[in-house]
Amino acid sequence: MKIKNLSFTATAFVVVFFASCNSSTSTKEVNADSTSTNSNVTMVDSTGNQLIPEKKNFETTIDGKPTDLYVLINHNGMEAAFTNYGGRLVSLLVPDKNGKMTDVVVGFNSVEGYEKSIEPYFGATIGRYGNRIAKGQFSLNGKKYQLSVNNGVNTLHGGKKGFQYEVWDADKLNDSTLQLSYLSKDMEEGFPGNLKVKVTYSLTADNGLKCQYEATTDKETVVNLTNHAFFNLNGEGSGTILDHKVQIYADKYTPIDSGFIPLGPLAVVKGTPFDFTRPTTIGARINENNEQLRNGKGYDHNFVLNETKVNGLNHAATVTGDKSGIVMNIYTQEPGLQFYSGNFMLSKNTFSDGSKDDFRTAFAMETQHFPDSPNEPSYPSTVLKPGQVYKTYSVYDFSTVK
- Domain contains 241: yes
On whether residue 12 sits in a domain, the answer given is no
Express each pLDDT in 161-193 by its tens digit: 999 999 999 999 999 999 999 999 999 999 999
**Average pLDDT of the segment spanning 149-153:** 97
The β-bridge partners of 170 are 180
Q: How much is the average pLDDT of 218-233?
A: 98
Residue 21 has pLDDT above 50, yes or no: no
pLDDT of residue 3: 38
Q: What is the pLDDT of residues 83-111, one digit of tens each?
A: 999 999 999 999 999 999 999 999 999 99
pLDDT attached to residue 46: 37
Contacting residues for 259 by C-beta, under 8 A, at least 6 apart: 134, 152, 153, 154
Range of the domain at 239: 234-387+396-400
E-strand stretches of 122-244: 124-126, 132-133, 137-140, 143-146, 155-156, 169-174, 177-184, 195-203, 208-217, 221-222, 226-228
Active site residue 228: yes
With respect to residue 83, please indicate whether it lies within any of the assigned structural domains.
Answer: no
Domain presence at residue 200: no
Question: Which of 208, 188, 205 shows the shortest CA–CA distance to 197?
Answer: 188
Total domain count, the chain: 1
Catalytic residue among 79, 157, 166, 228: 228
User: What pLDDT score does 6 carry?
Assistant: 40
CB 125 within 8 Å of CB 86: yes
Tens-digit pLDDT profile for residues 245-268: 999 999 999 999 999 999 999 999
Q: Is residue 64 part of a domain?
A: no
Quickly state the pLDDT bin for 198 (edges 50, 70, 90).
Answer: very high
Q: CA torsion sign, 263 to 264 to 265 to 267?
A: positive
Catalytic residue, chosen from 188, 366, 369, 376, is: 366
Q: Across the strands, what pairs with 197?
A: 182, 215
Length of the chain: 402
**pLDDT at residue 367 tops 60:** yes
Whether residue 102 is contained in a domain is answered as no
* Predicted pLDDT at 17: 31
Handedness of CA 346, 349, 350, 351 (dihedral sign): negative
Asked, for residue 4, whether it belongs to a domain, the answer is no
CATH code of the domain in which 379 resides: 2.70.98.10
pTM for the structure as a whole: 0.89
Question: How does residue 1 score in pLDDT terms, banded at 50, 70 and 90?
Answer: very low
Question: Is 143 part of any domain?
Answer: no
